[in-house]
Structure formats: structure tokens, C-alpha cells
């Protein structure tokens, strides 16, 4: 088609380049690579001029965004992978918050690249780990970002975080169906032979668990169970049903059945609204009538003074035994 009168074909071409790059950036969390810009029709000189004029911003080596596009943590993750492609993916302390595991802030930008790749100086603000080629089974895509799978992520962070942080992350992943015990054991069997860091921590954690035990419903209950699993206490039973005749009166968060002591994790998420409050009150009265003693523990109690929570449970059990 011939250009309309007064239309500059070069300007029309550049507009189409900008449009193609805008579409690419929109599908990639706001960023595009130098190679993508050249493939879209921009010459190397055009790329330099766009950056020099401030129309494009360089966010990573050979990765840009159109000036005015809002930055974000996810964009930074994708840009780091794009800059270090092929074979780069989000991992470790960035993969954990991307999977929304508890205890990990969305701050670091951490990726893994194949060890065989030519070493480059790490980009500012990006932690680059060099490992052997990741198996296809250890990599997936989440929100458009290449990332290690939940199972691989849990194993990788096992070498970097405390036992309780890893335990809470594992419980959340199990609760949401992101991983399973067989899947974790399979990956451990493979990675353990390679001497991968983190396998020991995860293997020890799984050894403490009975796979038949119900996964705790929240991080709140995971922390509370850790306090109740003490040798000075009798065995605590999670999700214990209380039956009156043929009717289930309640399913207790935790219970010492022989002592008829219930430990309830009172989280605001599950106790909101007048109707729910009334049901909880009726339920508590029925349990009391059946002879149960109930200890209520809030998240604030657990965070502020876990020792006090443990002492309260100890006193209740001690009075019953006396």
C-alpha cells in the first residue's frame, strides 16, 4: 500500500515497531529484550536512541521497559530471567514468595542459571546461582514467570532457612496441594545422590512426619502444634471429633482426649460475623456441658509469648491430674 499524502513511511514503520514492542511488553509484565526489539524491526541504532532519549528504560542487561510502565517485583523477576536466558528461572528465596509460601518477603530477586553458561558479573540487585541443568520436572511457569516447582523450591530453601520456617512453608504447600509426600521423597531420592544442599533438612523434616497425619489447616495451627508436641504433655490429637450419641458436637483443633482438654486456635479468619459467633458460643457451651475444658489461643498470643501459651496449657493439665 502506498503511503497517504504527507505520511512519512519511516515514521509509520517506527510506529508499528513501537506497537509490536508494546504488545510484547504487555505479555511479559512490561519488559522486552534487545533481541525482541530487533526482531520487531528496531535496529541497534534505534535501540540506543530510544534508551538515550529516555523513551525506553534499561532494567537489566539487554532488557528494557517503555518509560512510564509501572515497575513491580514480578517484573524484576521476569526481567532477570529474560536477561539471563536461556535456561534461567526464578529460584530459592524468590521462588518461595512467588508460590506465596509463608515467611518469605517479596524482596529478593534470585534466579538459577546453568553452570555451563559463560559467567557474567551479577546484575545489581539480582542473586544468580549457577547449578547443573535443571531437569524439566523441576521447572514450571507461574504468572508467566519461569520458576522452580514447589517441591524443588522447598528443597532448595532447606539449606537457607531455619527449621520452623521450612516446616511452615511445607505445611502450607501440602495444605494447598502444591506438593505431596511421594513427590518430595522422589525428588529427594534424585537430588540426594547429587549432594544437593537442602536435601538433608527436608529429609529430616519428612522423617519427623507421619504421612497419614492430617496436614494442619494453617501456619497458625502448625506453630501451635509445635508447642503442644512436648514430652511433658500427653500426646496431642489434631482435628479430634467430639461425639454425643450419634451426633458430632465439634471437631477440635487439638485435644488431649484422656484429660478432656481442648486447645482451640482462634483465628479471626474463621470467627467473623454474628451468625458464626453464635454458632461458636453454642458449640462451646455444649463442649463444656460434656465436661471439656477449652483453652483458647489467639495468633497474637502465639506470636507475642509462646512460652506463656505453653504454661497455660501446662497449668490446665496439671490441675486435672491433681
The radius of gyration of the chain's CA atoms, rounded to the nearest angstrom, is 27
Q: In the chain, pLDDT over 70 holds for what percent of residues?
A: 85
What average pLDDT does range 134-156 have in this prediction? 94
Residues in the chain: 322
pLDDT at position 169: 93
pLDDT at position 191: 82
Tens digit of each residue's pLDDT (9 = 90 or more) over 202-241: 988 888 776 666 676 678 888 899 999 988 899 999 999 9
pLDDT at position 218: 75
Q: Which of 54-68, 122-136, 253-267, 286-300 has the lowest mean pLDDT?
A: 122-136
Upper half-sphere CA count for residue 233 (Cβ side, 13 Å):
24
What average pLDDT does range 127-154 have in this prediction? 91
DSSP for residue 269: G
When comparing pLDDT for 307 and 134, which is higher? Answer: 307
Q: Domains, the chain, ranges and CATH?
A: 11-69 (1.10.10), 74-207 (no CATH), 219-321 (3.40.960.10)
Q: For residue 33, how far is the Cα from the chain centroid?
A: 27
Tens digit of each residue's pLDDT (9 = 90 or more) over 124-139: 678 899 887 788 899 9
pLDDT of 154 > 90? The answer is yes
Tens digit of each residue's pLDDT (9 = 90 or more) over 16-26: 888 888 899 99
Would you say 115 and 130 are in contact if contact means Cβ atoms under 8 Å apart?
Answer: yes
* Residue 271 pLDDT level (bands cut at 50, 70, 90): very low
Indicate whether this model's pTM tops 0.75. Answer: no
Amino acid at each position: 500500500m502506498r503511503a497517504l499524502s504527507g505520511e512519512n513511511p519511516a515514521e509509520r514503520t517506527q510506529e508499528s515497531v513501537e506497537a509490536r514492542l508494546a504488545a510484547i511488553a504487555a505479555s511479559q509484565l512490561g519488559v522486552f529484550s534487545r533481541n525482541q526489539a530487533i526482531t520487531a524491526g528496531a535496529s541497534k541504532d534505534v535501540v540506543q536512541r530510544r534508551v538515550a532519549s529516555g523513551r525506553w528504560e534499561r532494567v537489566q542487561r539487554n532488557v528494557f521497559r517503555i518509560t512510564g510502565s509501572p515497575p513491580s517485583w514480578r517484573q524484576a523477576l521476569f526481567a532477570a530471567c529474560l536477561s539471563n536466558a536461556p535456561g534461567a528461572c526464578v529460584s530459592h528465596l524468590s521462588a518461595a514468595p512467588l508460590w506465596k509460601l509463608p515467611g518469605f518477603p517479596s524482596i529478593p530477586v534470585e534466579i538459577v542459571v546453568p553452570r555451563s553458561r559463560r559467567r557474567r558479573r551479577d546484575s545489581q540487585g539480582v542473586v544468580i546461582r549457577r547449578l547443573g541443568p535443571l531437569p524439566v520436572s523441576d521447572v514450571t511457569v507461574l504468572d508467566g514467570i519461569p520458576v522452580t516447582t514447589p517441591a524443588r523450591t522447598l528443597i532448595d530453601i532447606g539449606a537457607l532457612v531455619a527449621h520452623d520456617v521450612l516446616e511452615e512453608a511445607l505445611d502450607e504447600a501440602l495444605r494447598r496441594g502444591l506438593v505431596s509426600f511421594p513427590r518430595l521423597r522422589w525428588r529427594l531420592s534424585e537430588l540426594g545422590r547429587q549432594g544437593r544442599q537442602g536435601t538433608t533438612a527436608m529429609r529430616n523434616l519428612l522423617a519427623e512426619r507421619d504421612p497419614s497425619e492430617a496436614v494442619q489447616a494453617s501456619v497458625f495451627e502448625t506453630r501451635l502444634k509445635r508447642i503442644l508436641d512436648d514430652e511433658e504433655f500427653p500426646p496431642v490429637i489434631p482435628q479430634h471429633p467430639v461425639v454425643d450419641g450419634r451426633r458430632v458436637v465439634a471437631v477440635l483443633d487439638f485435644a488431649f482426649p484422656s484429660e478432656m482438654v481442648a486447645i482451640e486456635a482462634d483465628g479471626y479468619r474463621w470467627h467473623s460475623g454474628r451468625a458464626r459467633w453464635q454458632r461458636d458460643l453454642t458449640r462451646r457451651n455444649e463442649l463444656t456441658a460434656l465436661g471439656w475444658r477449652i483453652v483458647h489461643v489467639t495468633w497474637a498470643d502465639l506470636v507475642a509469648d509462646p512460652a506463656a501459651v505453653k504454661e497455660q496449657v501446662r497449668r490446665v493439665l496439671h490441675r486435672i491430674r491433681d
